[in-house]
């Protein structure tokens, strides 16, 4: 069940008049000069909200892991110098305390943190009583509940300036993306929480420069509220995520070429995708009904057989076996144990009902 979240409209906490809203800056704050120059160029192209990684959650240790507090000092100077706003990633209480001390405008929770409810709860507890907006990236794994759970935890701590960032999902198998977008998950998030601002991160989705434009356009066509795109004055020599960063100049060209749809058109795009998914659900439901009807046919056969052989309709061994095997099969498919248990209680009781009617010579009537 979806809990309604209290969310302040995005235009009350981000200046999103710019169409499209673009947050940009380097993957990592490497040096003062790199950060200052990147931000200066971005600002000259009309971008006022900068991103920069200060603590870098790298997959393997031993690579550059961010400049920490030192980088926050640079950010604080650059904010004053260029009159820009900043967002940085935080992953624990210490990060939050420092980020707030240096006047960071917006915090974001990274994909590797969203997966862990312990960490998200720690962050939520540290945020109580603060008013800084929070953006929550999707978890690395394609799990909508985990994403929604993180949003709920932060919202419960009294943070109403809240948004989500869709950065794609880690999947096995080949893909042209670094992190597969699985747009349906973000659309489901938006349909569960219609007032939640959702920002797309094409840089991490693509993992390369070539697909950033088309992925950004797709996000805008789907009605996303903005984009967060990594940029660097010298992308090839970036200390992290070099392949996916673009120069502020390339970003500026992209920004001009991106087409933003009107709210009506955005709604239509969402509606179109929702309808497509609903049509698929209709087809699946028809298959379910077909299969249930097939199953009842078999149950009726058993009913006739038990009547002939004078057997009881309810046989405890079979009941136990059904519960055990179906739950095992369902878990293998990633389904919830409780859900399948409930479903099979209904199906099995329905079968007994059908058989009883046959044994008592009444016409079968399967009611769920």
* Minimum distance from residue 241 beta carbon to ligand PEP (Å): 6
C-alpha to C-alpha distance for 329 and 323, rounded to whole angstroms: 10
Q: Tell which positions 15-54 bind ligand PEP, by CB under 6 A.
A: 27, 53
- Could you say which of 138, 241, 248, 254 contacts Mn ion (CB under 5 A)? 241
Q: Tell which positions 82-121 bind ligand PEP, by CB under 6 A.
A: 110-112
- Could you say which of 166, 167, 190, 255 contacts ligand PEP (CB under 6 A)? 167
C-alpha to C-alpha distance for 59 and 100, rounded to whole angstroms: 26
165 binds Mn ion (CB under 5 A): no
**Partner whose footprint covers residue 167, from Mn ion, ligand PEP, none (CB < 5 to 8 Å by kind):** ligand PEP
* Minimum distance from residue 128 beta carbon to ligand PEP (Å): 23
197 binds ligand PEP (CB under 6 A): no
190 binds ligand PEP (CB under 6 A): no
255 binds ligand PEP (CB under 6 A): no
**Partner whose footprint covers residue 111, from Mn ion, ligand PEP, none (CB < 5 to 8 Å by kind):** ligand PEP
134-137 and 162-166 strand pairing: parallel
27 binds Mn ion (CB under 5 A): yes
Strand partners, 25: 230
Q: Please report how many Cα atoms fall inside a 13 Å half-sphere around the Cα of residue 31, on the Cβ side.
A: 8
CA dihedral 190, 58, 215, 14 (to 10 degrees): 50
Range in contact with Mn ion (rule: CB under 5 A) among 39-47, 235-243, 263-271, 323-331: 235-243
| Region of residue 334 (left: phi > 0; alpha: psi -120 to 50; beta: else) | left
166 binds ligand PEP (CB under 6 A): no
232 binds ligand PEP (CB under 6 A): no
* Ordered DSSP codes for 71-132: HHHHHHHHHHHHT-EEEEEE-SHHHHHHHHHTT-SEEEE-HHHHT-HHHHHHHHHHHTT---
* Minimum distance from residue 49 beta carbon to Mn ion (Å): 16
Q: What are the Cα distances from residue 247, in Å, to 39, 75, 270?
A: 11, 19, 31
- Contact residues toward ligand PEP (CB under 6 A) are 27, 53, 57, 110-112, 137, 167, 204
């Amino acid at each position: 069940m979806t809990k309604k979240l209290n969310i302040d409209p995005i235009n009350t906490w981000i200046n999103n008049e710019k169409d499209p809203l673009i947050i940009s800056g380097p993957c990592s704050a490497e040096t003062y000069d790199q950060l200052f120059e990147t931000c200066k160029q971005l600002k000259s192209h009309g971008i006022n909200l900068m991103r920069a990684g200060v603590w870098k959650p790298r997959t393997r240790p031993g690579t550059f892991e961010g400049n920490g507090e030192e980088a926050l000092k640079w950010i604080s100077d650059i904010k004053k110098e260029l009159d820009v706003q900043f967002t940085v990633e935080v992953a624990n209480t210490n990060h939050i305390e420092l980020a707030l001390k240096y006047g960071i405008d917006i915090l974001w929770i990274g994909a590797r943190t969203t997966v862990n409810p312990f960490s998200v709860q720690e962050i939520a507890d540290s945020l109580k009583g603060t008013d800084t907006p929070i953006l929550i990236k999707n978890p690395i794994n394609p799990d909508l509940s985990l994403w929604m759970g993180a949003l709920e935890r932060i919202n419960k701590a009294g943070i109403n300036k809240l948004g989500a960032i869709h950065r794609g999902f880690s999947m096995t198998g080949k893909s042209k993306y670094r992190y597969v977008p699985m747009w349906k998950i973000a659309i489901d998030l938006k349909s569960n929480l219609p007032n939640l601002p959702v920002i797309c991160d094409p840089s991490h989705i693509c993992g390369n420069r070539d697909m950033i434009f088309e992925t950004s356009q797709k996000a805008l066509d789907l009605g996303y509220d903005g984009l967060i795109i990594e940029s660097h004055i010298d992308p090839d020599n970036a200390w992290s995520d070099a392949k996916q960063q673009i120069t502020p100049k390339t970003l500026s060209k992209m920004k001009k070429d991106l087409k933003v749809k009107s709210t009506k058109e955005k709604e239509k795009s969402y509606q179109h995708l929702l309808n497509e998914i609903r049509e698929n659900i209709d087809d699946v439901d028809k298959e379910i009904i077909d299969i249930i009807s097939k199953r009842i046919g078999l149950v009726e056969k058993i009913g006739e057989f038990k009547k002939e052989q004078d057997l009881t309709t309810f046989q405890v061994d079979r009941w136990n076996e059904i519960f055990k095997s179906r739950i095992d099969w369902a878990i293998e498919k990633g389904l919830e144990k409780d859900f399948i248990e409930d479903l099979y209680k209904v199906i099995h009781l329905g079968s007994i009902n059908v058989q009883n009617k046959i044994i008592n010579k009444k016409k079968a009537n399967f009611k769920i």
